[in-house]
Structure 1
Amino acid sequence: MAGRGTIKPQSGFNANADADTLFKAMKGFGTDEKTILQLLTSRSNAQRQQIKAAFKNLHGKDLAGELKSELGGHLETVILALLETPTMYDVKCLKHATLGAGTSEKVLIHILASRTCSEIQAINAAYKQEYGKSLEEDVTGEVTGDFKELLVVLLQANRQQGVQEANVQSDAKALLAAGEKKFGTDEDTFVTILGNRSAEHLRRVFAEYTKLSGFQIEDSIKKEISGHLEELMLAVVKCAKSVPAYLAECLYNAIKGTGTDDKMLIEIMVSRSEIDMLDIRAEFRKMYSTSLYKMIKDDITGDYEKTLLLLCGGDDA
C-alpha cells in the first residue's frame, strides 16, 4: 500500500522558510488563506511537524493556535487536522466522539473498523498518555450491549495473523449456525469471529459462508442484526474485503446525504491522504460512476473546497 497517498514529502524542504511564509500569511491586515492551504497540503505530515517546531522556535508562538485565531469554519477544522500527527488526530477524533451529549457512534465505527492492529495499539497508548485514562474506559462508559463487546474486541487489537486453514470452514459454519440457522441470533459468535480473525482469513470465511448458505455475509447481517451493532459488523466485513472501498462508501454518504457530514469528510480526507487516497479514489469511481473530485467540487465551496481538492489530488473523470 506504500505510496498510494496523494500527499508526498516536498523535496528541498526547508522548515524555517515554510514557518516564515506562514507567519507572513497571517501577519498584518487580512489572512492569506490561499498560501496557508497550498503550503500545508504540499508537505507530508512529518514535514508539518517540523514546520510547527520551527514556527515555535522562530516566532515563540504555537502555529495551531495562530491559525485557529486567523481561520474559521470548516477550513479551520481541516487545516488544524493537518497539523496533528496521524495517531494524535485519530485520538482526538475518538475522544470527541465519546464526549458530551450523544456519543458519535459513526466516528467510533469508521475509525476502529478501518485501522490496522498496530495503528489501534498506537492510538490506545497515545490516548492513555493524553487523557490519563484508557480509550476502552471512555468507550465502554458510553455504549452498551454487543455493540460495546465488539468495540472492546477491536480495541484489543489482537487479530490472528494470516489464514488458519483448519478454521475457515468451521468459522463459516459457526456464523451460519449463529445467524441464518438460528431462531434469534447468537451475536457472541459474530463478535468473536469478526473481531479476532485477520482480514485475509475473514475473506476466505465469507466466501465459504456464501457457498454454504447461498447468501453474502452482509445480507445475513442486515437480516439478523440491527442498529449500531449492524453498522459496526458491516464496517468490519467491508474493511476485511477492502478498506479503500469501505472508506469510498463513507465519503459518498458523507457528501451525498441531506447536508454534508463535514466531520466524516474531513476525517477521511486528512487521515488517508498519505496512505491510500489513490485507492479510495479508484474505488469511488468504480462504485459511483463519478469521481470523488467532481463530487467535492459540486457540493463544497470556497477555500475549504480547495483544500479538500488538494488532498484528493486529482480527478478520475
Structure 2
Amino acid sequence: MTVSRRFRCVSVLQLGSRGTVTEAAGFNPDQDAEALRKAMKGAGTDEAAIISILPHRTIAQRQLIKESYKRAVGKVRDTLADDLKSELTGNFEKVVIGLLMTAPVYDAYELRNAIKGAGTDEACLIEILASRTISEMRTLVATYNKEYGKSLEDDVCGDTSGMFKRVLVSLLTEIYEAGEAHWGTDEVKFLTVLCVRNRNHLLKVFEEYKRISGRDIEDSIKREMSGCLEEVFLAIVRCIKSKPGFFAERLHKSMKGLGTTDSILIRVMVSRSEIDMQDIKAEFLKTYGKSLHSFIKGDTSGDYRKILLELCGKEI
C-alpha cells in the first residue's frame, strides 16, 4: 500500500516555525565543526562547548556542520556522530545524537528501536504515527526503508496485532481496508472516520458528535476501548484537536510522579524543538499551571538538564 499522492512533501522550514530553535545568525559551519573538534580533543570533553552550538543550530545547519567536520578529519563515515558517541554517555549523548539526525531519520531511528528486540514500545509507535502529517509520513516511510532496508509497514505488522495493528497501518498508509476479522461496530467506525478524514472535517464531526450524544468523543473512546487501542485513538483525537496540547501532555506524563521517562522527554524535545515548541510550552503552562522549563529543571540534572533547557528556550 502507498500513501496518497495528492499530498506534497513540505519541509519544516517551509511550514513556518513556532520552534524554540531557529537559524543561527552569522552561521559558519567550518567554525562550528572546528569548535566541536576542539571540544573533544585531548583528555576530557568540553560539554559546555557542545551545548553552546548544537541546540542553537537548525537541523539543516547541523547537517552542514557534519559535512564540514567530515571534510576536516578526512574520513568517510558519519564522523561527528561517531566521535561524539565515543566521548559522551547517557541521556546527554542521546539528545546530542538525536540532534544530529534529520527529522525523518530520527523518527525512523526511534521507530526501529521501538520495534526491534524483545518487546515493543507501543507508546513510541502511537506518539509518532498519530502525530505526523501525511507528507511527513511519506518521507518517514521512504527513509525507514533506506536506512534499514525494511518496510516500516511490514515491521509494524510483524510486531503488533489485531485492531491496534490495523489502526497503525491505516495511519501509515491513510488507507483503511476491511479485513476478515470481525471487530466491534464502534471500533470500525472510529477507524474509518479518524484515519481517512481531514482535520477541519473531523473538528466539525467532534462537535456534532458531542451535540448528538451529549458526550465528548474522548469520553466515548475511554468507555468503549482499553489498552493500546484506547491510547492510539485518544492520541489521534488529541492531535487533531491540538498537536501542541498532545505533546504538552506527553511531556507532563514523562516527568510527573516518581522518576522520569527519559525516552519520551528526549524524543519530544528533540523532534519538536524546531517545529512548535513555543506552542507546546504555552499549552503546558496553561494546562498544568507550571512551566515546562521548571519541570525539566526539577526533573533532570547535569549536562542533560542544560541541553534540554536550551532546547526548551526561555522561561515563560
Residue equivalent to 2:46: 32
Give yes or no for the alignment of 1:44 onto 2:58: yes
SS at match of 1:7: coil
Corresponding residue for 1:234?
Answer: 234
Q: Aligned pair 1:22/2:36, yes or no?
A: yes
1:44: Cα distance to partner? 0.8
Question: Superposition pairs for residues 70-89 of structure 1, below 5 Å?
Answer: 70-89=87-106
1:86: how far off?
0.6
Deviates more, 1:92-101 or 1:184-193: 184-193
Deviation at residue 27 of structure 1 after TM alignment = 0.2
Deviates more, 1:232-241 or 1:52-61: 52-61
- Which residue number corresponds to residue 180 of structure 1? none
Question: What is the Cα-based RMSD across aligned positions, in Å?
Answer: 1.2
Q: Partner amino acid for 2:186?
A: D
Find the aligned partners of 1:222 and 1:186 in 2 and give their Cα distance.
12
| Other-structure match for 1:3 | 17
Instruction: Give 2:135's aligned residue.
Output: 118
1:153 has 2:170 as partner: yes
TM-score for the superposition, normalised by structure 1: 0.90
TM-score (norm 2): 0.90
What letter corresponds to residue 204 of structure 2 in structure 1?
Answer: R
* Contact kept in structure 2, 1:10 and 1:43, CA below 8 Å: yes
Distance 2:29 2:303 in 1: 24
**Hey, what's the Cα distance between the residues in 2 that align with 1:4 and 1:48?**
19
**Where does structure 1 differ by over 2 angstroms across 4 or more consecutive aligned residues?**
none
Find the aligned partners of 2:148 and 2:33 in 1 and give their Cα distance.
Answer: 29
1:141 partner SS: helix
Match of 1:108, SS state, is helix
* SS of 2:16 mapped into structure 1: coil
Q: Secondary structure at the match of 1:35?
A: helix
SS of equivalent to 1:222: helix
Name which of structure 1's ranges 279-288 and 59-68 shifts more when overlaid on structure 2: 59-68
Segments of 5+ residues of structure 1 without an aligned counterpart are 160-183
Q: How is 1:143-182 mapped onto 2 (pairs within 5 angstroms)?
A: 143-157=160-174
Where do residues 224-263 of structure 1 align in structure 2 (5 Å cutoff)?
Answer: 224-263=224-263
Task: Please state how far the C-alpha of 1:257 moved relative to its aligned partner.
Answer: 4.0
Note if contact 1:185-1:224 (Cα within 8 Å) is conserved in structure 2: no
- Do the aligned residues in 2 keep the contact of 1:118 with 1:157 (CA within 8 Å)? no
Measured after TM superposition, the shift of residue 307 of structure 1 is 0.3
Letter in 1 for 2:246: Y
Q: Structure 2 CA distance, aligned partners of 1:292 and 1:75?
A: 18
1:3 Cα deviation after fit? 2.5
CA distance, structure 2, for counterparts of residue 201 and residue 259 of structure 1: 39
Deviations 1:43-67 (A, max 9, x none): 1110100000100100125000000
Q: Paired residue for 2:200?
A: 200
Q: Give, in angstroms, the shift of residue 12 of structure 1.
A: 1.1
Partner of 1:178: none
- Picking from 47, 54, 72, the partner of 1:58 is 72
Query: What CA distance in whole angstroms lies between the structure 2 residues aligned with 1:3 and 1:112?
Result: 21
Give deviations 1:160-218, integer Å, cap 9, x for gaps: xxxxxxxxxxxxxxxxxxxxxxxx65311111111111111111100000000000000
- Name structure 2 gaps, 5 residues minimum: 1-14, 177-183
Tell me, yes or no, if structure 1 residue 284 matches structure 2 residue 297. no
Q: Which amino acid is the alignment partner of residue 57 of structure 2?
A: R
Give matches, 1:263-274, under 5 Å: 263-274=263-274
How much identity, in percent, do the aligned residues show?
A: 53
In structure 1, give the amino acid aligned to 2:137: I
Question: For this pair of structures, how many residues does the alignment match?
Answer: 292
Match of 1:294 in 2: 294
CA contact (8 A) 1:117 1:158 kept: no
Q: Contact (CA 8 Å) 1:120, 1:157: kept in 2 or not?
A: no
State the Cα distance separating 1:157 from its structure 2 match: 3.8
For 1:299 and 1:258, locate their aligned partners in 2 and report how far apart those are by CA, in whole Å: 9
Shift of 1:4: 0.5
Alignment partners' CA distance in 1, 2:53 and 2:243: 29
Letter in structure 2 aligned against 1:60 = G
Question: Which deviations, in whole Å up to 9, do the C-alpha atoms of 1:33-82 show, x marking residues without a partner?
Answer: 01011111111110100000100100125000000000000000000000
Q: Which moved more, 1:301-310 or 1:249-258?
A: 249-258
User: 1:289, 1:113 → 2: CA distance?
Assistant: 26
